[in-house]
Amino acid sequence: MLEAFYPKYYVSSAYVVPYETLYRRGIRGVIFDVDNTLVPHDAPADDRARKLFETFHDMGMETCLLSNNKEPRVAAFAGEVGTKYIYKGGKPSVKGYRRAMKLMGTRRETTVFVGDQIFTDVYGANRAGILSYLVKPIHPREEIQIMVKRYFEAVVLYFYKRKIKKTKQNKKGMRS
């Protein structure tokens, strides 16, 4: 039941995802959430974010921001990092993910999504058939509705981590 909310990968930060490896494996587009994924809520793009997107452009990787936030916030950030964007994306609806892939010229098999929320970012990416990376939120300051969702996310993460641990134990047992 909870598997629909499980990310394919759970990592500490959007800045540690192995993008070069993904590119070598055929990934050609990355869709990002913005707030608390790339920078704290409402923060402008920083040097780290600009450098990350510069790396994508140098690699030939397409990028797109997909946010449920309003256009002024998303457009300003997108302009600072030089990427396409979708505001009021309606996550977890698959429409925004499909639109992002169309903007990037990618397909489900060649796209990855990176975000910090399970019930919007990961669930939507999973529903759209896109490889999903869940990252830990950058900053603890969040809007009240997100803080409430974090309690429910903790339950999902508990079972996700338990499943991952069992999978690793099973693989280890098979090798012995």
| Interatomic CA distance for residues 22 and 10, integer angstroms | 15
Give the burial class of 140: count Cβ atoms within 10 A of its Cβ; 0-12 exposed, 13-18 middle, 19 or more buried: exposed
Any idea where the domains of the chain sit in the sequence? 2-175
Domain 2-175 sits in CATH at 3.40.50.1000
Digit-coded pLDDT (tens) for 10-52: 999 999 999 999 999 999 999 999 999 999 988 999 999 999 9
Contacts 24+ apart (CB under 8 A), 45-48: 45/77, 45/80, 45/81, 48/15
Digit-coded pLDDT (tens) for 125-149: 999 999 999 999 987 666 666 676 7
Tell me which of 137 and 168 has the higher pLDDT. Answer: 137
- What's residue 5's pLDDT? 93
Q: What is the pTM of this model?
A: 0.87
